[in-house]
Amino acid sequence: MRTVIKNGHVINAWQRAEADVVVSDGRIEAVIERNGGPGVSAGSSDTVIDATDCLVIPGGVDVHVHMQLNTGATESSDTFATGSVAAACGGTTTILDFSEQRAGGNVLASFEQRFAQAESQCVVDWGLHQVLGGVDAQALIDARSLIEREGVSSIKLFMAYPGRLYSDDGQILRALQMCSDTGMIAMVHAENGLAIDVLIEQAIAAGNTDPVFHSLTRPAALEAEAVHRAAVLSRVAGGAPLYIVHVSSSEALAEVRAARRNGTNIFAETCPQYLHLSLEKTLGKGWPEGAGYICSTPLRSGHETHHADLWNGLREDELAVVSTDHCPFCLREQKLMNGQTFERVPNGIGGVEHRLDLIYQGVVSGEISLERWVEVCATAPSRLFGLDTKGVIGVGFDADIVVYDPAARTTISAATHHMNLDYSAYEGFILQGGVRTVMSRGDVIVDRGVVNARAGRGKYLRRRVPALLR
Ligand code: URP
Ligand code: ZN
Ligand code: ZN
């Protein structure tokens, strides 16, 4: 059966066109420019989607989400089922989550366990990065083997969280050497965890336990220092592909920029929370609301400068990607479950549903172009993480397509969102533009807010190791 998406404005990362899109067997069969004419004439058996006055864009690709992330005491509140439905409602048709090996644990077992969790639940296509929380010789052998075995082309390392997921510089160097050798890309949570732990200890000892101290004990200088160190280690390792996650500050961005200029094989992402939220209006609210904004890297004070610099970084391609770092915890039952001391609050913000909309606001305000919006939300993440069939409205690509209505207006609210989360970090935000129809491999899975997708329909995506020298 064929579907024809007619009368829309097709937006790709490199161009826009007045074109109709023909979809067949889950793939894009043709993209035909109308050139002032009537466009494709649909056959009697074709399904027609009228996209008049709408943008037709590739389905969003969110390469940094944490569904049902186990923190020990609790799990992030979206399952792969609820979180992937929320992603779909927001126009995201591919998610990449993480399997997590801890010190002394087995990489392959962690992958298999996480795979089994996701497989029966996802409504959109999905994949996994491999976290190495205990880099040793066997972990590196196993991580390398995941390329062929499972189609995993990325690992993740933590310079933060000593005693949990932290890797020291020697471990990071060894892992980056493996990446240099194989072409795997290393995602790095860049914060100086040892120094941060000292500041946390001192804040608690001084009785400074309110949410705002979460940010104040994780200063931007310690994010920037870690970005710098990761970049040096990537170069010493022989040019390992490096991807800095959740860049939150002007200082860290400056280190990314400097590293790109000196030839480091480095890429970076930011997230909507660092472009839209201010410390004063979030953590500064105190308990309990402030707990809802505790995430790492943290929201920054002096947010106007950080926001402006990060938008500029997106415009200039110093930041290649916007992902969400979706990691929701319900406010009352989870964020506050260990009491009112900032360092006991599970870290994370939920946002998988609102990424396309929140970044589209940058198009509305003139920060980025339509093409750049598509590039940072879909095309670039696909390319960096080896998703060959995603992120482009082009012949042969998967028919993951969003019909986006630029004239829509919506208000974000926990009362109406699809995430399994009892608050919204963006409550009351009024958005220009909105998702109308979402297609995943040719199936309409969301139309005008109605979801029609079976749990488990999402396909596991084997990924290629991309050639990633800039
Ligand atoms: O606060 C966050 N981001 N929690 C999720 C884990 C991480 O550090 O990415
Ligand atoms: Zn992180
Ligand atoms: Zn994360």
> What CATH number should be reported for the domain holding residue 153?
3.20.20.140
> What's the domain count of the chain?
1
Best of 325, 343, 421 for a ligand 1 pocket test (most atoms within 8 Å of beta carbon): 325
Dist. CA 154 → ligand 3 center (Å): 14
**What band does 45 get if pLDDT is binned at 50, 70 and 90?**
confident
**Which amino acids bring their CB within 6 angstroms of ligand 1?**
66, 189, 295-296, 325, 327, 347-348
Which residues span the domain enclosing 254? 62-388
* Residue 139, pLDDT score: 98
Distance 349 CA to ligand 3 centre (A): 10
Q: What is the average pLDDT across 131-157?
A: 98
Nearest atom (ligand 1) to Cα of 296: 1
The confidence score (pLDDT) of residue 44 equals 86
- Mean pLDDT along residues 434-459: 98
The answer as to whether 299 is a domain residue is yes
Measured N-to-C along each axis, helices 250-261 and 303-315 cross at an angle, to the nearest 10 degrees, of: 30
Nearest to 445, CA basis, from 400, 411, 413, 389: 400
Q: Whose C-alpha lies nearest to ligand 1, atom 7?
A: 296
Q: Rounded CA gap, 72 and 45, in Å?
A: 53
To test the pocket of ligand 1, the residue of 98, 99, 327, 421 to mutate (highest count of ligand atoms within 8 Å of its CB) is 327
422 falls within a domain? no
The number of the ligand 1 atom at minimal distance from the alpha carbon of 66 is 5
Q: Is residue 435 part of a domain?
A: no
Residue 325, pLDDT above cutoff 80: yes
Q: How far away, in angstroms, is 64 Cα from ligand 3 center?
A: 6
Is 308 inside any structural domain? Answer: yes
User: Does residue 428 form part of some domain?
Assistant: no
- Residue 246 Cα to ligand 2 midpoint, Å, equals 7
Task: Tell me the three-class secondary structure of the chain, residue by residue.
Answer: CEEEEEEEEEECCCCEEEEEEEEECCEEEEEEECCCCCCCCCCCCCEEEECCCCEEEECEEECCECCCCECCCCECCCCHHHHHHHHHHCCEEEEEEEEEEECCCCHHHHHHHHHHHHHCCCCCEEEEEEEEECCCHHHHHHHHHHHHHHCCCEEEEECCCCCCCECCHHHHHHHHHHHHHHCCEEEEECCCHHHHHHHHHHHHHCCCCCCHHHHHCCCHHHHHHHHHHHHHHHHHCCCCCEEECCCCCHHHHHHHHHHHHCCCCEEEEECHHHHHCCCCCCHHHCCCHHHHHCCCCCCCCCHHHHHHHHHHHHHCCCCCEECCCECCCCHHHHHCCCCCCHHHCCCCECCCCCHHHHHHHHHHCCCCCHHHHHHHHHHHHHHHCCCCCCCCCCCCCECCEEEEEEEEEEECCCCCCCCCCCCCCCCCCEEEEEEEEEEECCEEEEECCEECCCCCCCCECCCCCCCCCC
| Gap from CA of 407 to ligand 1 centroid (Å) | 34
Average the pLDDT over 325-352 and give the result. 97
- pLDDT at residue 469, rounded to an integer: 61
Domain assignment present for 166: yes
**What average pLDDT does range 115-130 have in this prediction?**
98
Residue 182 resides in a domain: yes
Supply the residue whose CA is at minimum distance from atom 5 of ligand 1. Answer: 348
Pocket residue to mutate for ligand 1, from 300, 347, 352, 421, most atoms within 8 A of Cβ: 347
Q: Is the pLDDT of residue 185 over 60?
A: yes
**pTM of the entire structure?**
0.98
pLDDT in tens, 191-238: 999 999 999 999 999 999 999 999 999 999 999 999 999 999 999 999
